A and B are shown apart, each in its own frame.
Chain A
Amino acid sequence: MQLLLKDTYLLDAKNVEKDLIRLWKRYQYILNNPNWEDLNEARAILYLTGRIYCEQIVPEAIRKRLNQLKKTISEIEFYTAIDSNSKDLKTYRKDKLFSKLEKLYLIVKKYKNKETSGQYYLDEERFIELYDQYRPSKDLKVGFRGKYGKELGKLNK
């Protein structure tokens, strides 16, 4: 994770990709060869890459540099231009910093689109099943934020 943060700070997209793949492979290895100690490492990878890195650190890293572009654009304009393949991209890409930020964003997007055996991204459901199976105490049960909770369902019926 330290390397990932360092490479993100340096906007070294190539190494960010390597770091993310390394962590993802380690996570997949643990899910395929689980034990209690390693599952806690997997939990850290899941939380740090899934919740913190992709959703908070990268947007912040990009946001802080957008005002250093030759032609300043807002955060939403930046993402919209890339995701909607805007015609303005040609002009934006003349700025080297924009290209670096775009690469970083596309790597994170690619990482979020990863899948294995038909399961997406970090396969959180499988992780939770394994974690519950291997946990030594019932007090350590983890929840799944994205799972459609029964209580939430009741509220809307």
Chain B
Amino acid sequence: MEIKGVKASLGRAKGIVKIVLNKDDLKKVNDGDILLSVMTTPDFVHAMKKASAIVTDEGSILCHAAIISRELKIPCIVATKIATQVLKTGDLVEVDATNKSVISIIKRRQEV
């Protein structure tokens, strides 16, 4: 399955999804994770530095997530609309922000 969005920073990355919906969730982001949120704010920057890619439901090419990811030189896809609803924390995905601008699910999180 693929989720489409708008590429805001070029690149490709593979990693575990961490959904950030509040400030407490920011602590859960580890090095190399894919940070997924509705949209980012300046409070997110520390976690964004650890992420290998950033994906948001909202935003545009000039939104906070887009600007910071270009500064950090990590891939970013914005305006997916549904990513936080379709993906779950723990899913393994590939973010392709080169030509395609899609997030592909490689492996779903194992439900215990």
Contacts and interface: CB of A to CB of B under 8 A. Distances in A.
Given A80-B70, A112-B64, A153 B41 contact: no
B98 to A, nearest CB: 10
Interface residues of A, number: 24
Nearest to A55: B60
B10 A148 contact: no
Given A59-B61, A146-B39, A76 B22 contact: no
A79 interface: yes
A109 B61 CA distance: 12
B41 A120 contact: yes
Contacts of A105: 62
A156 B21 contact: yes
B37 to A, nearest CB: 9
Interface string A29-65: 0000000000000000000000000111011000000
A140 interface: no
A84 B38 CA distance: 24
Contacts of B59: 55
Interface of B: 7-10, 19, 21-22, 38-39, 41-42, 58-64, 66-67, 70-71, 73, 84-85, 88-89
